[in-house]
């Protein structure tokens, strides 16, 4: 008996050495076409049906995706059937890496991988590899086109990837053709969806939360989702070139990852780092020049039509005005001042000149003064979507700014189509945005990209891509004819757009009147504006209001103290579209910051402080809605008070209609 056991062990060791696999994987290979998450709760299976490849997924033995087919229409032929599986290989991975900046420092990248190689049975015998990675919080997969005889350069006319959801879930999304993704996320049953942009978030009848998106969008078209009109099956819809093709590529190449987060609560969606894990590690090497921060700008005053972008009597970028903003930034500990409208071209928003300031903007005087005050000028390149004009000047434009010590540039692409032709999220747009980030990195410049393609986690690879718009931000509360963003908007964003990455929403309103459009305004209370600094994550945050509106307001203390780089994030409680509470720990200290916001309904939130260090006492400085605060009638009342708390405390706080609470926790 003893000998038999030893022999068995030897045989097992032989196979482990032979295949370089650990015992778990040997066991898994018995069911080779199945891969499970490391915790075993998610199962992904592949198979073929009449020559078509499918995958299906379950969580805790309940189906998430039924048989969902994979493949492509290429120019001239299909690449979707007549396949047989030639090989399946398994591996696993577990590593913890550190973010340059982020919502937390340490990220665990832990998955089981299954690579499935398929080959056509037809004359062409072309090959395709599908690489599946299953994590404890979801999965991702991508197609790989290996070197081969009968596939060289090719054009993708349609990606046929399906997401065949098992149930009629509730969803949140914006339509695919929403300009710059600046739309209000609507809740619909999956059966009512048309073509939508990702992230698409769902709540299932079993109480699970799912988000479909993509990771590492590189030299490919952005993926949207179109519903099969007869069912709840969704299919990839790639943003086309003006000429109708989707992607021009050649072997060897890969598609972006198609991702699905699977979470047990809405809050857990926000804690998933699956998208970042499916991007490549930092390629920039030394990143000591990359610094998150908080800044102010002449921005709201321009949107409120107090100043103009173009030169003239009310020109916002006038030297004296900018110096005033620099003084304010220095006094209140802001790292930067954003100045838009400093360069020639704003008369007709066309041929912008990126190294030619208006005469009343003395860049040398301004940047010298800023430097003496330890503040940086934040640059601005509005391209109006004219990428050719921008690419022609880009390198010189970054060098020009850099010469004056400007190392953050906000870029913008306002305009129907890029160069009047291409959609922002087409392969053309994706290539352009990438070029800009890479060129900026060569000059050690950080980017805040407005009117972008939806983010997909690229900041892991190129951490100078700090933040992006791609959201209906607070500027809509200045000029939108529909009155501005409704109260629930910011209770949905963290679970939709926010899952795609840092979001330049620009909260910070302290004055709620709008002299230009009196019926358009910020639909929150003052306390909710403070809380949004924590709730909507961005490593560069602009306190958006005019500086005059911050002077002498004690609530400003929260904004000037709130960091933009975190060592840890927790989501104690959330319900999509209703309320959300987030707490984040400062990367540079032991302080925690909490933000909790509600939709149009007043509510009492019970804040469970178990995230604080056990056994320690903290001072909680609380900024909460005051008596009679109401986003419609009177947004201003705010109570600022201090309490002693610890990790066992449950704070009960009344939030006004579209109100909030913001708290700073300092250890005694």
Active-site residues, by number, are 475
**Nearest distance from C-beta of residue 642 to ligand NOJ, angstroms:** 36
**Nearest distance from C-beta of residue 469 to ligand NOJ, angstroms:** 5
Determine the Cα–Cα distance for residues 619 and 498; give it in Å rounded to an integer. 30
**Nearest distance from C-beta of residue 96 to ligand NOJ, angstroms:** 36
Determine the Cα–Cα distance for residues 423 and 196; give it in Å rounded to an integer. 15
Determine the Cα–Cα distance for residues 558 and 150; give it in Å rounded to an integer. 62
Choose among 490, 510, 526: nearest CA to 639.
Answer: 526
Contact, 270 vs 502, CB < 8 A? no
| Helix (H) / strand (E) containing 395 | helix 387-403
Choose among 3, 283, 25: nearest CA to 134.
Answer: 25
At residue 403, the 3 state secondary structure works out as: helix
Contact, 32 vs 115, CB < 8 A? no
Determine the Cα–Cα distance for residues 354 and 341; give it in Å rounded to an integer. 11
- Backbone phi and psi for residue 330, each to the nearest 5 degrees, phi listed first: -65, -45
Taking the least distance from each CB to ligand NOJ, the nearer of 120 and 182 is: 182
**Nearest distance from C-beta of residue 492 to ligand NOJ, angstroms:** 19
Taking the least distance from each CB to ligand NOJ, the nearer of 220 and 342 is: 342
Choose among 257, 194, 195: nearest CA to 220.
Answer: 257
Taking the least distance from each CB to ligand NOJ, the nearer of 404 and 479 is: 479
| Binding site residues, ligand NOJ, CB under 6 A | 299, 340, 382, 412, 414, 450, 469, 475
Taking the least distance from each CB to ligand NOJ, the nearer of 120 and 469 is: 469
Determine the Cα–Cα distance for residues 132 and 593; give it in Å rounded to an integer. 37
| Helix (H) / strand (E) containing 326 | helix 319-331
Interhelix angle 319-331/363-372, nearest 10 degrees: 10
- Residue that is written with structure tokens 């073509």 in the block: 195
| Helix (H) / strand (E) containing 257 | strand 257-263
Taking the least distance from each CB to ligand NOJ, the nearer of 255 and 343 is: 343
**Nearest distance from C-beta of residue 412 to ligand NOJ, angstroms:** 4
Determine the Cα–Cα distance for residues 473 and 456; give it in Å rounded to an integer. 19
Taking the least distance from each CB to ligand NOJ, the nearer of 469 and 488 is: 469
| Helix (H) / strand (E) containing 394 | helix 387-403
Determine the Cα–Cα distance for residues 325 and 314; give it in Å rounded to an integer. 15
At residue 612, the 3 state secondary structure works out as: coil
Determine the Cα–Cα distance for residues 56 and 76; give it in Å rounded to an integer. 29
Determine the Cα–Cα distance for residues 24 and 207; give it in Å rounded to an integer. 30
Determine the Cα–Cα distance for residues 334 and 295; give it in Å rounded to an integer. 5
Taking the least distance from each CB to ligand NOJ, the nearer of 473 and 660 is: 473
Q: Could you tell me how far CA 241 lies from the centroid of its own chain?
A: 24
Taking the least distance from each CB to ligand NOJ, the nearer of 412 and 539 is: 412
Token digits of residue 126: 């072309």
Taking the least distance from each CB to ligand NOJ, the nearer of 11 and 414 is: 414
- DSSP class of residue 222 equals P
Contact, 374 vs 330, CB < 8 A? yes
């Amino acid at each position: 008996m003893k000998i038999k056991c030893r022999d068995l062990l030897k045989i097992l060791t032989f196979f482990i050495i032979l295949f370089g696999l650990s015992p778990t994987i040997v066991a898994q290979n018995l069911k080779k076409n199945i891969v499970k998450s490391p915790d075993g709760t998610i199962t992904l299976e592949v198979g073929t049906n009449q020559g078509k490849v499918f995958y299906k997924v379950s969580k805790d033995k309940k189906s998430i995706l039924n048989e969902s087919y994979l493949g492509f229409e290429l120019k001239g032929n299909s690449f979707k059937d007549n396949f047989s599986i030639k090989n399946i290989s398994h591996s696993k991975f577990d590593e913890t890496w550190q973010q340059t900046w982020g919502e937390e420092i340490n990220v665990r990248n832990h998955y089981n991988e299954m690579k499935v190689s398929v080959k056509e049975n037809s004359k062409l015998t072309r090959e395709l590899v599908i690489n599946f990675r299953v994590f404890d919080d979801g999965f991702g997969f991508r197609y790989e086109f290996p070197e081969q005889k009968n596939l060289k350069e090719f054009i993708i006319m349609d990606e046929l990837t399906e997401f065949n959801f098992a149930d009629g879930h509730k969803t949140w999304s914006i339509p695919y053709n929403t300009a710059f993704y600046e739309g209000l996320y609507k809740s619909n049953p999956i059966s009512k969806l048309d073509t939508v942009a990702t992230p698409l978030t769902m709540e299932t009848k079993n109480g699970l939360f799912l988000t479909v998106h993509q990771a590492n969008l590189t030299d490919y078209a952005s993926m949207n989702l179109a519903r099969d009109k007869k069912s709840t099956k969704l299919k990839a819809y790639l943003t086309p070139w003006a000429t109708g093709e989707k992607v021009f590529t050649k072997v060897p190449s890969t598609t972006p990852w198609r991702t699905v987060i699977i979470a047990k609560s809405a809050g857990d969606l926000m804690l998933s780092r699956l998208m970042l894990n499916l991007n490549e590690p930092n390629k920039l090497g030394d990143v000591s020049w990359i610094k998150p921060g908080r800044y102010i700008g002449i921005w709201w005053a321009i949107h409120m039509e107090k100043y103009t972008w173009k030169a003239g009597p009310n020109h916002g970028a006038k030297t004296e005005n900018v110096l005033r903003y620099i003084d304010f930034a220095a006094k209140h500990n802001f790292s930067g001042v954003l100045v838009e409208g400093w360069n020639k071209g704003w008369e007709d928003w066309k041929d912008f000149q990126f190294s030619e300031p208006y005469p009343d903007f003395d860049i040398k005087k301004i940047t010298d003064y800023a430097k003496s005050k330890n503040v940086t000028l934040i640059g601005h390149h509005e391209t109006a979507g004219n990428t050719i004009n921008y690419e022609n000047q880009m390198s010189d434009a970054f060098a020009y700014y850099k010469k004056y010590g400007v190392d953050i540039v906000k870029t913008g692409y306002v305009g129907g189509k890029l160069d009047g032709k291409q959609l922002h999220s087409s392969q053309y747009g994706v290539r352009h945005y990438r070029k800009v980030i890479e060129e900026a990195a060569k000059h050690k410049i950080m980017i805040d990209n407005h009117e972008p393609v939806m983010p997909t986690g690229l900041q892991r690879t190129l951490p100078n891509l700090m933040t992006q718009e791609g959201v209906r931000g607070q500027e809509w509360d200045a000029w939108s004819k529909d009155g501005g963003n409704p109260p629930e908007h910011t209770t949905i964003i963290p679970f939709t757009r926010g899952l795609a990455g840092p979001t330049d929403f620009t909260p910070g309103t302290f004055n709620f009147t709008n002299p230009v459009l009196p019926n358009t305004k910020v639909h929150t209370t003052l306390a909710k504006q403070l809380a949004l600094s924590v709730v909507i994550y961005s490593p560069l945050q602009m306190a958006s209001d005019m500086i005059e509106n911050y002077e002498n307001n004690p609530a400003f203390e929260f904004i000037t103290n709130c960091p933009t780089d975190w060592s840890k994030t927790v989501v104690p409680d959330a319900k999509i579209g209703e309320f959300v509470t987030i707490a984040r720990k400062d990367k540079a200290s032991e302080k925690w910051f909490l933000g909790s916001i509600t939709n149009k309904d007043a509510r009492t939130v019970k804040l469970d402080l178990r995230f604080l260090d056990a056994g320690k006492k903290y001072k909680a400085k609380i900024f909460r809605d005051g008596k009679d605060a109401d986003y419609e009638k009177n947004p201003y009342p705010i109570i600022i008070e201090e309490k002693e708390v610890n990790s066992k405390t449950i704070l009960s706080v009344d939030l006004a209609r579209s109100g909030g609470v913001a708290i700073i926790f300092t250890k005694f």
